[in-house]
Structure 1
Amino acid sequence: MNDHNEVEYLMISGIQHFAFCRRQWGLIHIDKKWADNYHTTLGEQIHERVHDPFLNEKRKDLIIVRGMKVVSHELGITGECDVVEFHQEKEGVPIFGHSGLYSVYPIEYKKGKPKANDEDILQLAAQAVCLEEMFCCSVQDGAIYYASTKRREEIEISAELKQKVKEYFAEMHGYFQKQHIPQVKKSKKCQQCSLKELCIPVDTGRSVLEYIRLAVKEE
């Protein structure tokens, strides 16, 4: 059952922000704030090259689709897969316009190197959940290509990982519907954040509105 209005569908890419910092996600996806730094600019350049729709191709038993629009009406999320590979095999699913059956294999492109946490993996898993709903299939594997290492990291997309995706997006929808931006949880990650100058880097225990009212009063 879909309880989400399509106007309120969340971006798949937001789960990476949310896993990194709930407040960062709120500032970007609720407050519509964004600030570029070297890392975000490099990441955008990589994705622009990957998402070229004219680079779709077919190689024998392999179909490669770039910049593929995906959606999950169950979770109320939408976005794009950098690359989806369809491998022809007997246990696969039909693909419109092509003969045979295919397995579905998403690939996410990232600028850096593998992270110690699961931010990138969660984004890939969210894409897998969408693809499962769209193609009525099971997506159990995918890959993340890191530009720094120039290699794919094969990822097992487990049931536990998909459940975590569902729980995260349920929490995100709760914040989004209330238009509530989570408060600061200061950590070492703040120094890596492109929004550190737009955020309130010190946890004052006050809400954003209280902080602004106090600042205006002091002026």
Structure 2
Amino acid sequence: MNRTLFCHMMMTLDGKITGNHSQFSETKKGGELYYEYGFTNEAPHPVDSWISGRSTAQKHFTDGNEPELTTDHEAVPDGDFIVDTDFDHYYVVLDGHGRVDWPKDTIEYNEFKAKVVVVVTEETSDDYKAFLRNKNIPYVIAGQSEIGLNDALDRLQQNFPMESFMVGGGAKLNWSFIKAGLCDELSLVVSPILEGDPEAIPFALPNRENDSTEPVPLELISNDTIADSTIYLRYKVKND
């Protein structure tokens, strides 16, 4: 199936995506450009699907708590749960352990509104699947105990009008897509500030238990200096 997938992040000059730098005015323009180049017609590729990991979803779209699940529900049918296949935008969250407590079936980020779709595994509990069904949140199953990224993309495209995917964190998810050879391009907004905190997280971080840590070659597509010393970088990921 044809698809485009790029990783889009805002970071500091020392490559960090967490820390205290967001409190400084030097990051204001970067925040504006992050939205413009990821969620509007100014994006390098028209985005119909935004992918993130569980912790990113919890941080931005829930209260951070896990759902209070119940066993008092109807039997959950085998297979995927597919509803609402006519949205313009989707927010895809990889949550194999069923930990995100969704308040509703859509998210809003400024003017960007999207239908939530969750990727689970065969071992995700029926109690959590029943929770999703009750919220009218579709899900696809990809993998036995761990989510298979290529399988997830295939299942999503088989069931929803998805062709252009933007991966937007967290760091381990970014690296997983890059190392799997599934990421075509990096789209990086760089703010003129150094984070400095050694505990701050970089935009891509291997899960050393099961991810390769070999370097990934890149090829520069473009580099633009925008207002307020903010830089926008695009790199092709050399997957061949």
Bigger radius of gyration: 1
- TM-score normalised to structure 1 length: 0.28
RCO (CA 8 Å, sep 6+): is it higher in 1 or 2? 2
